[in-house]
Chain A
Amino acid sequence: MRSDKRKWIVLAAASIMIAMLLSPLASSHPDGLERVAEDHGFIEQSQPGFALSPFPDYVMEVPLSSRWQGALAGGAGVAIMLAAIWGYGRLLARK
C-alpha cells in the first residue's frame, strides 16, 4: 500500500513535468485524423472550437516567452484535471 501510494505520487509529478516541460518537444507532423483529412480533402471543413476558451491552443497569454506560455497552460490543464476529478470524487464520498 505504501509503495502503491508512492507510485501514484510519481505519476502525478511525471504528469506535471510532461505538461510543463515536454510539450514544446511535441512533433510538428499532423496527427492521424488530420493527416487523413489533408490527404482526402476535408481539412477545410474544420471549424474553430469553443470561442470562450481561456487558453486556446495551449497558450496562456502572459508577457513571457512562448515556452513559458505553453508550460503554464499545460500546468493549468493538469491542475484543472486533478481538481475536477478529485472534487467530483469528494462530492460522491460525502453522500
Chain B
Amino acid sequence: MSYKTVHNYKLEERLLVHIPDGFLDAKVWITTTAAGAGALAYALKRTNMTIGRQEAPKLAVLGAFIFAAQMINFPIAGATSGHFLGGTLAAILFGPWVGIVLMSAVLAVQAFVFQDGGITVLGANILCTGLVGSMAGYAIYAGCIKWLGRNNKAAGMIAAFVAGWGGIVAASAAVGLLLAWSGTAPLGTAMSAMTGWHSLIGIGEGVITAAAAAYLVDRKADAALKAASV
C-alpha cells in the first residue's frame, strides 16, 4: 500500500516534504532522536546567549517565511520537485545555531500541526536539515566571503547561492546516510540518488537564498562576519 492509498490524500497537491515515519529503522531513529534533541538543546543555549531582545521578532518572521516557502514545491526536470529548505538562509542572517533552532521549529510545526514529516524521525530531520544543512551552508558562505571579499553585493549573492546549494546537497547526503544505515536502501544508491536529485533542487535553494540574503543582510552588522568565531 502506498502513501497515497494509506492516507487517501490528494498526493498531487501535497507531498511528503521531509523523512516520514517508517523510512528509518529503530536503532537509527532512536539514536537520531537523542542526537537531534542534544543538538537542539545546545543550539538553544548558544542562541540564547547571542540573540538580543530586539532580534526575536526578526527570528519569528524568518521562521514564518521558511515555513511558508517550504510549502511551495517547484518542478525539477519534469520528474521531481524541490522546495526551499532555509537553514542556510537563517545561518547567513543569524549564524548556524539560529539555523538549527528555526529549522527545528518549522519541522515540529509541520509534523505536529500538519502531519508533514514523521514524529520518530523528527530528530533525524533536525540533524539533516538543521545541523548538517545550516552548518554546511554557513561554512560555505563564510569561506566564499573570505575568498570573494566582503564589501561587494554581487560576491555576497554568489556566496549565498553556492552556500544554499551546498547546504541542501549536504543535508540530502545526510538523509542518504541514514537511509543506508537503516537498511532502507544500499549506501551507494541512497547517496547518489539523494545528492543527484538535490544538486538540481539546490539550484532553487541557491536562488532563493541569494535573493533573500541580498534583501535582508545588513552589511554593517552581518551576523556571519560578526560571528566568524562561531
Among candidates A22, A40, A76, A78, residue contacting B185 with C-beta atoms closer than 8 Å: A40
A41 vs B71: C-alpha distance when bound (angstroms)? 25
> A14: which B residues are within 8 A, CB to CB?
65, 68
Inter-chain contact A49/B118, CB cutoff 8 Å: yes
> B227: which A residues are within 8 A, CB to CB?
none
Does B31 count as interface, using CB distance less than 8 angstroms?
no
Q: Find residues 62-95 in chain A having any chain B CB closer than 8 Å to their own CB.
A: 70, 73-74, 76-78, 80-86, 88-90, 92-93
Inter-chain contact A53/B112, CB cutoff 8 Å: yes
Q: Is the interface of A mostly helix, strand, loop or mixed?
A: helix
> A49: which B residues are within 8 A, CB to CB?
20-21, 111, 115-119
What's the minimum C-beta distance from B212 to chain A, rounded to whole angstroms? 8
Per-residue contact bits, chain B 108-125, to A (CB 8 Å; 1 contact, 0 not): 011111111111000000
A66 vs B209: C-alpha distance when bound (angstroms)? 31
Q: Nearest CB to that of B67 among chain A residues?
A: A81
A68 vs B12: C-alpha distance when bound (angstroms)? 17
Q: Find residues 26-63 in chain A having any chain B CB closer than 8 Å to their own CB.
A: 26-37, 39-40, 42-50, 52-59
Among candidates B16, B48, B68, B109, residue contacting A31 with C-beta atoms closer than 8 Å: B16
Among candidates A22, A29, A81, residue contacting B63 with C-beta atoms closer than 8 Å: A81
- Give the total of B residues in contact with A, Cβ under 8 Å: 78
- In the complex with contacts A32-B201, A93-B56, A46-B23 CB distance below 8 A: yes
Q: Nearest CB to that of B120 among chain A residues?
A: A47
Per-residue contact bits, chain A 7-31, to B (CB 8 Å; 1 contact, 0 not): 1100110111011001111111111
Q: Nearest CB to that of A29 among chain B residues?
A: B81
> B65: which A residues are within 8 A, CB to CB?
11-12, 14-15, 18
Interface residues of B (CB under 8 A from A): 1-3, 6-7, 9, 11-23, 48, 51, 53, 55-65, 67-69, 71-76, 78-83, 102, 105-106, 109-119, 172, 175, 179, 184-185, 189-190, 193-194, 197-198, 201, 212, 215-216, 218
